[in-house]
Amino acid sequence: MRKELDYIRIGTALGGNQEWFTDWSMYDGGCAAVTACDVCMYLSLQKGRTF
């Protein structure tokens, strides 16, 4: 049996993307920030919260 996470969507994208940042430092090194936001949204949705 294959199990997959119900991943979050932002517009048509699956999760966030650091290439959306306009600031160079976040564009270059924002992967942790994007991941942290994705995890927070995912866990909130698992608790029944909506955005």
Tell whether the model's pLDDT for residue 44 goes beyond 80.
yes
In this structure, are strands 9-10 and 13-14 parallel, antiparallel, or unpaired?
antiparallel
Domain residue spans of the chain: 9-46
**What are 4-20's pLDDT values in tens digits?**
777 888 888 888 888 88
Geometric angle at alpha carbon 41, from 34 and 4, rounded to 5°: 95
Return the closest-CA partner of residue 41 out of 51, 29, 28, 32.
51
Average pLDDT over residues 23-31: 86
How high is the mean pLDDT of the chain? 85
Residue 46 to residue 12: CA distance in whole angstroms: 20
* pTM confidence score: 0.69
